[in-house]
Amino acid sequence: MTDYKTIDDFNPSGRRVLLRIDLNVPMKDGQVTDATRIERVAPTIEELAVKGAKVVLLSHFGRPGGRRDTTMSLAPLARPLSEVLGGRPVNFAKDCVGPTADHVISRLDDGGVALLENVRFHAGEETNDPAFARALAGLVDVYVDDAFAASHRPHASIEAVARLLPAYAGRLMQAELEALTRALDAPKRPVVAIVGGAKVSTKIELLGNLVSKVDRLIIGGGMANTFLFSRGLDVGASLAERDLADTANSIERRAIETGCKILIQDDAVVAPALAPSVETRVVTADSVPGDQMILDAGPRSIDRFRATLSDCRTVVWNGPLGAFETPPFDAATVAVATYVAELTRTGHVLSVAGGGDTVAALVQAGVIDTFSYVSTAGGAFLEWLEGKTLPGVAVLQR
């Protein structure tokens, strides 16, 4: 990855800094139910404020479709932001452009913080409208992007405005880029990627890119069933995209060409239905009963995966190895996650994970704080792994 500018590259004192963050947090009855994203961006806000910047926070929330929708207002987030910032006041502006925003910003002292209204209340945000970008840029002196989770979107507050102002990466963006660069662009080898999830169709580009980047690729979850089927095995009543057998075969051929070894479970935990109290049994991958579903990797496969990971130096993880939401079908995911966490704890590997289901699985396994880096970026994390150029990252390059 090309070098990019960070907040170390400018003096924020006395300057109006537009800080693009991601406050698209879960809410219920007007209350934040998970403040992780707020907590992760707090260090950048605090650092800029302590250094004397007038910090102007900008974010999207939900999908209002370019119209004002009070149910998607950012107003309820001013107090949680203030609390995470140790009581630092957060002034709220009822719009993100125009006289209302300008008035709130003009009243900020050095070190003050303002939160602008949902940027997606304006249609120009998602169309990357140059005029809307100029309206945003006219409010401030400098642009800082700390919203890697939105960096794959070619939106005005992500891409266009960054071309109109001196643009820099915030600390969260910087940490994400450094972790991903170390994991895939300049990794210590061998590199093992773990990719799970329900469907191959959602991760074709990801798998195609990874087989040219990593040394070993562990495929789990429902998508492993498609690969088993493509190898000529009967997967019974399991979820499998049988029409993508040729695609799976082409990925395997590509892996052979690049020297990437693909590992898929050779035994499985099966059951007649996905339910917590259902009767289960372990079978070999070539003897799945016609009325049974593969819902997790079996114990022999777990041992193989651990052996593969034992001498690696870098692990990249996206997606669970089984139907982890329903115990006991979380066994493989928890066992492998615990092993990767131990390798990380002892300094043996760099471990980078991301994706909504992956984060939930690592929380369930109790190891999320042990991994080297866990991304909450979702789509942006996936597109990075697919090898795509992210608009919000490209504009920060030197």
Whole-number mean pLDDT of the chain? 95
Torsion, Cα 214 170 39 43, to 10 degrees, reads 120
Q: Do 250 and 359 belong to one domain?
A: yes
Q: Do 307 and 280 belong to one domain?
A: yes
The answer to whether the pTM exceeds 0.75 is yes
Beta-carbon-side half-sphere exposure of residue 336 (alpha carbons within 13 Å): 40
Q: Do 235 and 138 belong to one domain?
A: no
Q: Tell me, yes or no, if 199 is annotated catalytic.
A: yes
In a domain, residue 236? The reply is yes
CATH of the domain at 201: 3.40.50.1260
Q: Do 230 and 162 belong to one domain?
A: no
Q: Do 204 and 350 belong to one domain?
A: yes
Q: Do 362 and 252 belong to one domain?
A: yes
In a domain, residue 392? The reply is no
Rg (CA), the chain: 23
Phi/psi of residue 107, nearest 5 degrees: -90, 0
Q: How far, in Å, are 182, 286, 347, 351, 365 from residue 369 at the CA level?
A: 19, 37, 14, 11, 11
In the set 52, 66, 208, 356, the catalytic residue is: 356
Is 2 a residue whose pLDDT tops 80? no
Q: How far is CA 229 from the centre of its chain?
A: 30
In a domain, residue 105? The reply is yes
In the set 94, 199, 261, 313, the catalytic residue is: 199
Contact 168, 44 (CB under 8 A): no
What are 268's strand-pairing partners?
Answer: 283, 297
Among residues 243, 244, 203, which one has the least CA distance to residue 220?
203
How far, in Å, CA of 55 to CA of 96, rounded?
13
Contact 22, 41 (CB under 8 A): yes
Structure confidence at residue 298 (pLDDT): 98
Q: Do 38 and 135 belong to one domain?
A: yes
Among residues 254, 252, 208, 203, which one has the least CA distance to residue 232?
252
Q: Tell me, yes or no, if 379 is annotated catalytic.
A: yes
Q: Tell me, yes or no, if 86 is annotated catalytic.
A: no
Position with higher pLDDT, 147 vs 31: 147
The share of the chain scoring above pLDDT 90, in percent, equals 89
Structure confidence at residue 356 (pLDDT): 77
Q: How far, in Å, are 8, 47, 164 from residue 93 at the CA level?
A: 28, 22, 22
Over residues 235-248, the pLDDT tens digits come to 999 999 999 999 99
Beta-carbon-side half-sphere exposure of residue 207 (alpha carbons within 13 Å): 29
Q: How many domains does the chain have?
A: 2
In a domain, residue 200? The reply is yes
Contact 113, 49 (CB under 8 A): yes
Instruction: Give, in degrees to the nearest 5, the angle at Cα 348 between 361 and 176.
Output: 55
Q: Tell me, yes or no, if 94 is annotated catalytic.
A: no
Structural domain containing residue 354: 187-385
In the set 98, 208, 379, 387, the catalytic residue is: 379
Q: What is the DSSP letter of 183?
A: I
Structure confidence at residue 125 (pLDDT): 98
Q: Do 195 and 89 belong to one domain?
A: no
Q: Do 121 and 152 belong to one domain?
A: yes
Over residues 218-236, the pLDDT tens digits come to 999 999 999 999 999 999 9
3-state SS, residue 318: strand
In a domain, residue 178? The reply is no
Over residues 13-65, the pLDDT tens digits come to 999 999 999 999 888 888 898 888 899 999 999 999 999 999 999 999 999 99
Over residues 277-318, the pLDDT tens digits come to 899 999 999 999 999 999 999 999 999 999 999 999 999 999
Structure confidence at residue 1 (pLDDT): 45
Contact 60, 117 (CB under 8 A): no
Among residues 103, 141, 125, 118, which one has the least CA distance to residue 17?
141
How far, in Å, CA of 112 to CA of 52, rounded?
8
In the set 15, 37, 153, 216, the catalytic residue is: 37
The share of the chain scoring above pLDDT 70, in percent, equals 99
Is 4 a residue whose pLDDT tops 50? yes
Q: Do 270 and 363 belong to one domain?
A: yes
Structure confidence at residue 334 (pLDDT): 97
